Amino acid sequence: SWYIGCLYCEKSLWMMSSFEESKSVLLKSGFRMPLVGFGTYKLGTIPSSSTTVSSTPPPDTFTVVTNALHFGYRMFDCAEFYNNEASVGDAIQAYRPTIPRSELFLISKCWTSTIHAGAESIVNQVNTTLSDLKTDYIDLYLIHWPVPACHTTAFHTLAKLQKQGKIRSIGVSNYTIEDIMELESTLDESTPPICVNQIEINPFLYRKLTLDYCVSKGIHCQAYRALRDGKALHHETIQRIALKYNVSNSVVLLKWCLQNGISVVVKSADSNRMKQNVDGLWNVFELDEYEMKELDQLTTHEALEAFTETYKKCVVRDTPLSGSRVRAAFTKN
């Protein structure tokens, strides 16, 4: 099987246990991934086709990433689309004398335009990311969105790069159940597994059916926008639970993810919040069954419909494909 074959990695099995077991998850590739990572979206620059625009200048990438490293973050979520990987790489390199590469976990993703352009563009982009992040391998490489008629080819291209040692684990992002099923239909025992599905998931967008399907297939779910937005942090239920456990509101949302078996990618330019998010999660407290159910029920029909519209736009964004190519029906939750 592929899993046995993957152990050809010369860097050997000790690399797979560089992260503390209680604070990491074992992926199907055999490598461990930290449960808490730091996001780099909208650091230094805001992508031109971003769905939201702010009048406030984005925070400096080098400064924020350096602070995140100082406060103990070791997993960094990057992407071609974010247009700042060189600055992320500079910050990591400046810190590298004190942190060996084996203690870092770097994630990147290829954007829709690259996925649509095909195999050669994907290979070129992976090589660019390796150069920008100043590393000889990427721990986890994701397909950013399931571009219709293109994403399965992208996965198989990444599989070849994995055999060359440029990528350790392969995953997807923003995939519905139907997208995963389509991709799975092209895989066999000689193909590396889908290790991760990075999706927006939080108590206000609880996509339980998608989560359960991924779990049934051994695909780990990782949350972006785990904190939803500023308004979510002030929800009465969140505030009440945070007060009970004497933790920040954001830690309640992150704890909900972890107790559902979901790793998280968080981001803040504020040093105090950075520290709160990474420290508070490992406080000795657990949300009880009633509290978990309360949080489960915060998802609304409107939130699921908004996700649906975002998905339809983003799978073809920055490509010549029209909306007619998007699958007509898919599982929202």
Per residue in 77-103, pLDDT (tens digit) is 999 999 999 999 999 999 988 899 999
| Active-site residue list | 82
Q: State the virtual CA torsion across 313, 319, 324, 327 in degrees, nearest 10.
A: -70
Kindly tell me the sign of the dihedral angle through the C-alpha atoms of 212, 178, 224, 122: positive
Per residue in 204-258, pLDDT (tens digit) is 999 999 999 999 999 999 999 999 987 889 999 999 999 999 999 999 999 999 9
List, in sequence order, every residue forming a beta bridge with 76; answer none if it has no partner: 38, 106
Percent of the chain whose predicted confidence (pLDDT) is above 90 = 82
pLDDT at res. 127: 99
Q: Is residue 8 part of a domain?
A: no
Query: Domain range for residue 35?
Result: 13-319
Whole-number Å distance between alpha carbons of 77 and 112: 17
Q: Mean pLDDT throughout 296-309? A: 96
Statement: residue 278 has pLDDT above 70: yes
pLDDT at res. 166: 99
pLDDT at res. 244: 97
pLDDT at res. 38: 97
Q: How many domains does the chain divide into?
A: 1
Q: Is residue 331 part of a domain?
A: no
Chain-centre distance of CA 123, in angstroms? 20
Per residue in 3-46, pLDDT (tens digit) is 444 544 444 443 445 788 889 999 999 999 999 999 999 999 99
pLDDT at res. 79: 98
pLDDT at res. 1: 52
Q: Is residue 249 part of a domain?
A: yes
Statement: residue 285 has pLDDT above 70: yes
Q: Is residue 4 part of a domain?
A: no
Q: Is residue 329 part of a domain?
A: no
Looking at every residue in the chain, the average pLDDT score rounds to 92
Statement: residue 121 has pLDDT above 90: yes
pLDDT at res. 163: 96
CB 314 within 8 Å of CB 145? yes
Q: Is residue 100 part of a domain?
A: yes
151 is in an annotated binding site: no
CB 42 within 8 Å of CB 245? no
Q: Is residue 167 part of a domain?
A: yes
pLDDT at res. 137: 98
pLDDT at res. 16: 46
Nearest to 196 by CA among 68, 105, 93: 105
pLDDT band at residue 51, thresholds of 50, 70 and 90? Answer: low
Per residue in 146-176, pLDDT (tens digit) is 999 999 999 999 999 999 999 999 999 999 9
CB 138 within 8 Å of CB 168? yes
Q: What φ, ψ does residue 40 adopt, rounded to 5°?
A: -120, 10
Who contacts 187 (Cβ-Cβ below 8 Å, separation ≥6)? 155, 193, 194
Higher pLDDT: 55 or 327? It is: 327
CATH number where 206 lies: 3.20.20.100
Statement: residue 128 has pLDDT above 90: yes
Q: Is residue 154 part of a domain?
A: yes
